[in-house]
Every structure is written in structure tokens, then in C-alpha cells.
């Protein structure tokens, strides 16, 4: 049985899945369709991904324009600061962000609705992340919001992050709006 907590960002929820631990180790159920559906997470998750990043790496803020993905993120090993930015123009929290620490201690997950840009930075020596996504990744549809946009003003907990050149070239929130490069959300997805 999971517990789901809303945050200040509409569509960005913290999930506390069933977690059992004793002297032998632990057992974690990372996803069970009916349980998540009972909490309003109705997305059809079609792909699982695993990534590893080193300490100081900042990835993001990623999203897809025409085929935005819902995501469930679980940290399998390590500690990260996970961030979502609401890029859905019809949302009450459009342009706002929320961040949360996730780790392999005291298991929690984050659910992000389609249209929320995702990024994270690694606070431990390395971090392994598991993602469930509701749509296939399409490199031709990928876009991003610059990680240090002054108008969004994310309070990242690291200085001088290691950033991939692609992520360093992303546009500001204002530029994305003016270019029409925000996620295209069907009202049935909201």
C-alpha cells in the first residue's frame, strides 16, 4: 500500500511505497498498477529506464514537446535533489518548481505528470535512478529548460555542477514560451 503526498506543484507528488526492512536487507515494491491507480496515477507506463550519474552532476531540465511523458522516479542507490518545473500553461502552478531529496534510505518516489520538466543533481558519490515513463523517448521531440533560469530561480543545493553541453544550451522559460516550445498537453492528460 502506497502513501501519496501532494506538493506545492500541481502534478508533482511524493510517493511512499511499501518498504519492508530487517537484518537480512529490504523489499520494496516499486510499482503496482492498481495501488497507484487508486491514488489517481492513471498513466499507462510503457518503458523503464535506469541511469547512473556521478557526484556533482546536474541533469535537466528535460521534457518532450509533442509527446510529454509522465514519470515515476525512484533512487535505487545514492542521494539526489530532484526537481520538477510545471510547464503546462493551463496549470495553476505554471512556471513554478518543487524540489525534494530522494535516496535509497527511507524509500520515496516522485511522480511527475506530463508537461513537468525534470532535473536532478547528485549529492552522493554516485546515484542510480530508475524511471517509469508513459511514452517512448523521442530525441527529435526532446527539449529542455536551462537549469539556472533566473525567472524560475531553483535553489540547487550544489555549486559549480557538472553539466552536459546539451543541457547548458537549453533556453530560458521566457524564450521557451516565445518560441512555442512548451509541452503540448491534451486536456485528457491533465
Q: Which residues are catalytic?
A: 62, 131
Which of 139, 84, 140, 91 lies closest to 110 in space, CA to CA? 84
CA distance 36 to 174: 34
8 A C-beta contact, residue 84 and residue 118? yes
8 A C-beta contact, residue 46 and residue 150? no
CA distance 175 to 171: 6
CA distance 36 to 187: 21
CA distance 97 to 186: 21
Q: What angle do CA 176, 73, 115 make, to 5 degrees?
A: 25
Amino acid at each position: 500500500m502506497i502513501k501519496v503526498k501532494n506538493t506545492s506543484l500541481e502534478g508533482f507528488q511524493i510517493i511512499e511505497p511499501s518498504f519492508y526492512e530487517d537484518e537480512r536487507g529490504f523489499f520494496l515494491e516499486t510499482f503496482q498498477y492498481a495501488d497507484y491507480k487508486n491514488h489517481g496515477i492513471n498513466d499507462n507506463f510503457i518503458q523503464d529506464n535506469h541511469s547512473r550519474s556521478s557526484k556533482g552532476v546536474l541533469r535537466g531540465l528535460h521534457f518532450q514537446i509533442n509527446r510529454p511523458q509522465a514519470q515515476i522516479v525512484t533512487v535505487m542507490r545514492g542521494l539526489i535533489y530532484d526537481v520538477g518545473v510545471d510547464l503546462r500553461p493551463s496549470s495553476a502552478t505554471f512556471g513554478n518548481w518543487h524540489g525534494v531529496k530522494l535516496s535509497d534510505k527511507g524509500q520515496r518516489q516522485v511522480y511527475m505528470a506530463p508537461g513537468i520538466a525534470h532535473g536532478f543533481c547528485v549529492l552522493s558519490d554516485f546515484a542510480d535512478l530508475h524511471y517509469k515513463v508513459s511514452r517512448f523517448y523521442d530525441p527529435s521531440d526532446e527539449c529542455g529548460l536551462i537549469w539556472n533560469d533566473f525567472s524560475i530561480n531553483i535553489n540547487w543545493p550544489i555549486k559549480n555542477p557538472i553539466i552536459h553541453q546539451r543541457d547548458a544550451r537549453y533556453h530560458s522559460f521566457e524564450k521557451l514560451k516565445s518560441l512555442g516550445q512548451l509541452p503540448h498537453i491534451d486536456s485528457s492528460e491533465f
